[in-house]
Structure 1
Amino acid sequence: MRVCFDGSTGGGHLENYTSDYTIQVLVGYCSVYIFMQTFMIPGTIFMSLLAGSLFGQLRGVALVVFAASAGASSCFFLSKLIGKPLVFSLWPDKLMFFQKQVAKRREKLLNYMLFLRVTPTLPNTFINLASPIVDVPYHIFLLATLIGLIPASYVTVRAGIALGELTSLSDLYDTQSIALLFLIGIVSVTPTLLGKDEAQEKTTEIAVTAS
């Protein structure tokens, strides 16, 4: 990934190579990204930056969301098969918290999973590994991943387009970008909170009627 930050010469060579061997670069890029995501190898943020540098805004975001979702799905099923002991040993407290939240928000689970994806409440690696253990249905996991990764992917890919001006990773998430992600997260979780209030009101009404 060092070539991404080495100035215009390396970037120009990469762009020319991508233009001449588009299919090969796409297959190689997706394979590496999915492998890293599946086996929790750090560095996918640099892959997202590279997508912006090589493929532009729209194609870069689409590619990152596809590869990240495919890798997250692979991680989901791998964890379902053999990941339970690992998750219990690494994150016992987080797993207990996540399990309670999923059980409590079962009726509005998609909204809650979207909230987790667009905000840094829980790490994405943990969500990928823990979701099958706490019985999050795969279709909800996949849909929340596909939609929820778009905002962060947009921010990172946009930064990748301006790699020449990027001085540090902290430049990726300025105050405005972080505020935007939290705003999207609040909007996504609002239906869950409203549904919870309605359920409490119904319970109160039933109790009053019974008395």
Structure 2
Amino acid sequence: MEHQQLVETTSNYPSSSSSSSSMKSNDVKSFKFPLTIWEMMGASGVVFGFAVGFIGVYLSLPDSDYSFLKLPRTLEDLRLLRDDLEQYTSDYTIQVLLAYCTVYIFMQTFMIPGSVFMSLLAGSLFGVLKGVAIVVFAATAGASSCYFLSNLIGRPLILSLCPEKLVFFQNQVAKRESRLLNYMLFLRVTPTLPNTFINVASPIVNVPYHTFFLATSIGVVPVAYVAVRAGTTLGELRSVGDLYDIQSIGILFFVGLASVIPTLISNKTKS
């Protein structure tokens, strides 16, 4: 019943196809911002919390020039950041680790692109085993933070921005309720739906948090391993596309296949 209500609700938002024509005929001034004052205050509280965290981490670091600190957008930016951070990582491991996790979780919470560069950085600074553990923790925590923030303010926003994609996701979840964990695992290791969309939409289509958490913490391991392993040889990378060699694609393919085998077997048994 809740799934059906969600489908019907999409027609009440301006971005849906049925309402776009009526929006053109109405006065633009009649459009209302989709968030209430309380929802905006809640989101502002989350931003404030991250700001306090960043300030705390910054104050815990030794006095120095940190003008080199910025989110990397290219491999060259990443190499420069790695070179500057290496001297701090050995002497201030805890502080660098806290700063890294805070930034990664912040990026995941607010859907800021660039997590692949952060995963490469983890491999370069911490090695494969520690790097994978750190990335899996930060990615799961960031996705969970996005999940709960979306549960607070996400419904009106995502219904306004992409109702059709949300309805598609809702229908797929409804059809796979008995094997939802397998489906969510499949989504995490394949490009069927963007991870940012999954984080935001999951609470809206009633994916239980424990299922979301398990699928995220397990599903990001293969992708994290591929990126972190590549980060250990950062100097040899020429583009982000070099991450996905034959071996890496094979790993992701077999993990994705393994995640849907139980569902395929179940469907065959029923038929």
Return the TM-score normalized by structure 2: 0.70
2:146 to 75, 99, 108: 75
Q: CA shift at 1:97, angstroms?
A: 1.4
2:243 to 168, 172, 178: 172
Aligned to 1:103: 174
Equivalent positions of 1:45-194 (< 5 A) are 45-194=116-265
Amino acid at match of 1:126: F
Superposed CA offset, 1:172-200 (max 9, x none): 1124322321221111111012212223x
Q: CA shift at 1:118, angstroms?
A: 1.0
Q: Distance in 2 between matches of 1:39 and 1:12?
A: 27
Of structures 1 and 2, the one with the larger relative CO (CA 8 A, separation 6+) is 1
Amino acid at match of 1:170: G
Return the TM-score normalized by structure 1: 0.89
Superposed CA offset, 1:44-80 (max 9, x none): 1111110000000000000000000000000001111
Aligned to 1:206: none
Structure 2, unaligned runs of 5 or more: 1-71
Q: CA shift at 1:92, angstroms?
A: 2.0
Amino acid at match of 2:204: I
Q: Distance in 2 between matches of 1:89 and 1:42?
A: 21
User: Quick check: which one's helix share is greater?
Assistant: 1
Aligned to 2:113: 42
Matched, 1:26 2:97: yes
Q: Distance in 2 between matches of 1:21 and 1:55?
A: 13
Q: Percent identity?
A: 69
Q: Distance in 1 between matches of 2:253 and 2:201?
A: 22
Q: Distance in 1 between matches of 2:78 and 2:86?
A: 11
Structure 1, unaligned runs of 5 or more: 202-211
Q: CA shift at 1:134, angstroms?
A: 0.6
Amino acid at match of 2:173: V
2:225 is paired with a residue whose SS is: helix
Superposed CA offset, 1:122-159 (max 9, x none): 11001000100110000000000000000000000011
Q: Distance in 2 between matches of 1:189 and 1:11?
A: 38
Q: Distance in 1 between matches of 2:213 and 2:97?
A: 22
Q: Distance in 2 between matches of 1:179 and 1:96?
A: 31
